[in-house]
Structure 1
């Protein structure tokens, strides 16, 4: 009798081992069992990598700029022996890699170095200047949030369904103009109008509460307009969804309709864009502080760049970059809490 031929092989033909059923998805099951924990771990790992990139970039950008910071600090008539001794004291005569490793070790240990120009510890310079910048940025963020969300949602409600075309065009035009103008130009214009032409407000300094108005407005006006446009677009989209139609058919009060049903859906997009705008706001504060002679980190970093004060520039750039990264981490975590499904799709 003819023996039956063996059936076709069911194993892999490339010689690889067959993975037992269920083992492939084991890692996925573990991740799905605690999505928020894995979401947080992933964001913390990204933060650590981003901070390392910022540290390296701040070091290389400053050290690759041509010039001698010691000669700039001591003057062109300084004795060459004194210049050489100062360079040795600061470690600037060592190879670039050695300087980078020393700088990286100092950042890890909390030692940001000593200012080449003033001779003061960089940490003390930052501690002196940071409060002014924090107040300015905090007030600008608060003003942006308090104006963009109400204005954007109100415009969406007022122009929904093609109503009030004139208001729609005016809103789009005005916000579009202020979104494209740089912050420092807005600051110059505000100084010209409200401090020179109409001497109502002080043009510089941070001595009185009135001196905060112009720099905060210059810093917040562009981001407020940009965020208001996004909020208006998102609110218009939400107003067309079915659950809003059902809520409107129940004749709920406007306060409940828009704050309870519309705002939570708009908030997710607002936070996402707000995190990106915060980075632009931090960058804009550097120039705005110089326009208004604001005693903060922005004016300090510009002076340090001109004087080639390596330690001070590196520390301020690192601090501003770390603040942006931490704020974006907080925004990501807030989005994960508002929309738990994002912890699976974005981790």
Structure 2
């Protein structure tokens, strides 16, 4: 078994690698060649979450699980709040193949999924990017979104505005004007990415203009919520995994309120394979409910393992 420590991941997997791996994963699921197993997610108290996401990709030859969660007290300890590890197994024998640091991989695959949704669902003439949230993953989201659309400026809101200058620095690196705004001004955005750990909705239907695409990437647990149910119900909803969308994703609240039927939610992979047209009009609001699926973690981890073996990196141990 190969151990690929977190410290090696940045040198092994690029954002472009993550985009390609996640895109292939979406398509494999849509073709019925891969599937996710039910998520195990537990609250540990004090805002901490821990769980397991796993799946099998027959096309990619990947079987495995990501173990980890969200620990909001980590920032005070000099650690990022999301902590995880990915374990890969031989799908034919069940023998362990690799253990891979999952923190950067999680950020890269989350941003890649959001960017793929923007690429496939946002209007081609989208020029203003809005971001709700300014935590660790917000910068990854900004960089990934900027790869698929030629944005002219970025506007952002965060519950704690003192965190926004760090996101503004990322925008400056990309040569994009940046402005901190109040939520009602999100109506100026053509694309909005929400990436928070909020237990209550921040973005309301009145904050979103017709024709906007939303990538809602923060809700992955029962009780989390970034946007109000009326906004979800009024949009054309796409997701990475319908079962997760209605139970732990952003759609859970609209479905529970009877405002949205699970059958109206479309797997994004169907857009990639051509089975669904995606956006149908310029005035349509599209919403991608990114719940985070185990298959995507396995896909990017497999890239890290392949690169590590090619370069003679990592730690080989007997099992």
Higher relative contact order (CA 8 A, sep 6+): 1
TM range (shorter): under 0.3
Q: TM-score, normalised by structure 2?
A: 0.24
Which of these two proteins has the greater Rg computed from alpha carbons? 1
Q: TM-score, normalised by structure 1?
A: 0.23
